[in-house]
Structure 1
Amino acid sequence: MKELYLMRHSQTLFNQLHRIQGWSDSPLTKQGIEDAQEVGRYFKDQQITFDHAYSSTQERACDTLENITDQPYTRLKGLKEWNFGVFEGQSEQLNPHDDSSRHSYGDFFLQFGGESDLEVQERMNQTLTTIMEQPDHHHVLAVSHGGACFMFLQKWLPYDEIKRQVTNFHNCCILKFTYEDGKFTFIKAINVKEEN
């Protein structure tokens, strides 16, 4: 049984300023750097090691991973955050209400040059499946983003279960899955601050 640890990046300046941060980028805060280093210590303490590591091509994800471990890693565009089109860098107050049937922003951002929820979900699922299908990949760490991780989680876990099992999806939250026969199974959400 293969294992995937899918992690949301650390806190950034835009997170702090409550700005929409999709394909745009901003640096990790001091807190973000410290939190990522704490995750690194957690993995060491728990004796969790990875044969392969991956990151979104975005700086905030790469910097998070580099503060967790010094092992080599691969950057993949498929792990990037949701593209929010012209809303990039704007106040989070401009985010639309969730599409109640899809429990996400649905197709809203398509009209503004961004992606739909299902496009993000398909991209993430395809990328992570390709990663886990490789024969020498048994314990994998992948650092991605809030929206992208949440859409991937929705593919494999019913929304009611997400609400019940993932009560805190802040920066540095880790979603643990197993992978077998082309299917991901959600195991648990790990918030290192709550574990320590």
Structure 2
Amino acid sequence: MKTLHLYVVRHGKTYFNRYNKLQGWGNSPLVASGIQDAHQAGQKLSQVHFKAAYCSDTTRAMDTAKIILEENKNSREISLITDAKFREEFYGSFEGTNMDAAWTSAGAPVGLRTYSEIVDKYDVDKTKDLLKEADPWHDAENSEEFWQRVLAGFKRILTNPVLDDGDNVLLISHGNSLISLADRFGEGKIAVHERPANGSISQMELSKDGLTILTYNNEPVKD
């Protein structure tokens, strides 16, 4: 059975990150410190031989990926693969809204005011479902829509005929996407109240059985 070693990096800090705004399919550029986030991640990964590299089709992910690959000494021959399946959760009409205000709107029907309160009482998937219900257009992704898209992206990686058992793969991801992966595959060992740091590295193993998370937000996953 083929097992791939994923190095999953959250993109560098953007202007919307700075302003505490929801940023899903919407996009804003990396700030200066976000460019530095990418360089630092690239330096940490500079000796890893990547066989493939993936990211979403947002510029914040693509710019982060390009900087990391430029820093890498062993992966000059690979081309970056962009795919909308790896986009962040779509927040519908809440795109660009203050995060705290958005989650208050989502949690109000169940008497909750913050993202953390929703996660504590339910789980991360429930935050998606509640936000879709609160979106007047109901365009925001619910949990089923999110996972159908994202898991198809991981299947694309796993079925890439170029990749063999034990190969290393770079994937540039997003804050809520990483939280969602931690909640679904982390076996209850990972705190999911806050987004991982911009430029943070999480190591995972991908096989037909799913994902195993070894490190998250630069830290080992402890039993």
Whether TM-score is above 0.5 comes out as yes
The CA distance in 1 between the partners of 2:31 and 2:194, in whole Å, is: 24
What amino acid does structure 2 have at the position aligned with 1:183?
G
Deviations along 1:36-84, one digit per CA (max 9) or x if unpaired, are 011111112xx21211001100111001111111352011000001111
- 1:5-62, CA deviations, whole angstroms, 9 ceiling, x for partnerless residues? 1221110001011111111100000000011011111112xx2121100110011100
In structure 2, the partner of 1:28 is 30
Is the Cα contact below 8 Å between 2:49 and 2:168 reproduced in 1?
yes
Which residue identity is paired with 1:83?
F
Question: 5 Å matches for 1:102-121?
Answer: 102-104=123-125, 105-111=127-133, 112=135, 113-121=139-147
Q: In 2, are the aligned partners of 1:129 and 1:182 still within 8 Å (CA)?
A: no
1:163 corresponds to 2:191:
yes
One-letter identity of the residue aligned with 2:102: N
Instruction: Kindly state the Cα deviation for residue 183 of structure 1 after the two structures are TM-superposed.
Output: 2.4
Note if 1:139 corresponds to 2:161.
Answer: no
The two structures, once aligned, show a CA RMSD in angstroms of 2.2
CA distance in 1, matches of 2:128, 2:100: 17
**TM-score between the two structures when normalised by the length of structure 1:** 0.86
State the TM-score, normalizing by the size of structure 2. Answer: 0.76
Secondary structure of the structure 1 residue equivalent to 2:88 = coil
The answer to whether 1:183 aligns with 2:203 is no
**Matches of 1:103 and 1:62, distance apart in 2:** 26
CA distance in 1, matches of 2:84, 2:128: 21
Choose from 62, 87, 94 the match for 1:87: 94
Alignment length, in residue pairs? 188
1:101 partnered with 2:84: no
Name the aligned partner's letter for residue 180 of structure 1. Answer: S
Code of the residue aligned with 1:3 in structure 2: it is H
The 5-angstrom pairing of residues 45-60 of structure 1 reads 47-60=47-60
Q: Partner of 1:69 in structure 2?
A: 69
Does structure 1 retain, via aligned residues, the 8 Å contact 2:22–2:96? yes
Give distance in 2, aligned partners of 1:127 and 1:171: 21
Report how far residue 167 of structure 1 moved.
Answer: 8.4
Per the alignment, do residues 167 and 22 of structure 1 end up closer, same or farther by CA in structure 2, a change over 3 Å counting? Answer: closer
Q: Aligned partners of 2:98, 2:208: CA distance in 1, in Å?
A: 42
Quote the Cα distance in structure 1 between the aligned partners of 2:195 and 2:215.
11
User: What SS does the corresponding residue of 2:170 show, helix, strand or coil?
Assistant: strand
